[in-house]
Amino acid sequence: MFDVIRIPAFKDNYIWLLRQDMRAAVIDPGDASPVLEVLRREKLELSSILITHHHQDHQGGIDGLLACFPSAKVFAPARESVTGTSAPLRGGERIRLAGLDGELRVIAVPGHTLGHLAYYGEGCLFCGDTLFAGGCGRLFEGTPREMAESLVCLAALPDETKVYCAHEYTEANLRFALAVEPGNRALRRRADEVAVLRAKDLPTVPSTLAVEKATNPFLRCREPEVIAAARARGVTENDPVAVFAALREWKNEF
């Protein structure tokens, strides 16, 4: 079983480092410097780099890491252009990382980008910019249907799954969620808890899928209050994809 270490980067990114004994893997290293600092401090050898999608704040540190650890394997979406890819993936694969016990399942989750991947194993979900705590990613390349189906796929994982997303967006996401579903008591409790954490500059990630399914509007597109909110935005049907599309468009301007 690996340990998961949170490495803050840029304004609000999280890079995730998986550690077991003296070996490590890193997920979405947009910046090499903070990763190298942890590796040096902990005397770890980097064996693997995993990329969820091609955006620069998720892959920008690959060259710097490979300069120090040239034998590290780079797992990345086959459909996207990612620096140094040595193991292209399309989803459906099961991968093992050198020096780390356990297996990661690769899940195709198009929507934010067309080739976006998530990695799931050992009760942990590393989902990049697809599912956020309290929200979901923007649709830069995919369609609402693709993103909605990707979220349904992730929501089917066990409730106790820990959700390691790539940004600290939770507080803003929950403000939007409350606008969508003000009658959700679990959501109100969560918003209060998150406000306390952020006032102390503490992280709100990881979440769990159970929490997300109870409070994240983008996973609740069949709930009556969420449907009513979408109808108030002009949706004329109860179809979950239409509800999702309305919510995502509303969030873009919120």
Active-site hit among 28, 31, 54, 55 = 55
Active-site hit among 31, 54, 112, 116 = 112
Q: Residue 119: CB partners within 8 Å, gap ≥ 6?
A: 27, 50, 52, 104, 105, 106, 107, 125, 126
Active-site hit among 28, 31, 57, 116 = 57
Cα separation, 129 vs 18, whole angstroms:
19
Residue 21 is a catalytic residue: no
Residue 116 is a catalytic residue: no
Residue 129 is a catalytic residue: yes
Active-site hit among 31, 54, 116, 129 = 129
Active-site hit among 116, 167, 192, 201 = 167
Active-site hit among 28, 53, 54, 116 = 53
Do 192 and 177 meet the contact criterion of CB atoms below 8 Å apart? no
Active-site hit among 28, 31, 54, 58 = 58
Do 120 and 89 meet the contact criterion of CB atoms below 8 Å apart? no
Residue 55 is a catalytic residue: yes
Residue 112 is a catalytic residue: yes
Q: Residue 219: CB partners within 8 Å, gap ≥ 6?
A: 131, 151, 155, 212, 213
Q: Which residues are catalytic?
A: 53, 55, 57-58, 112, 129, 167
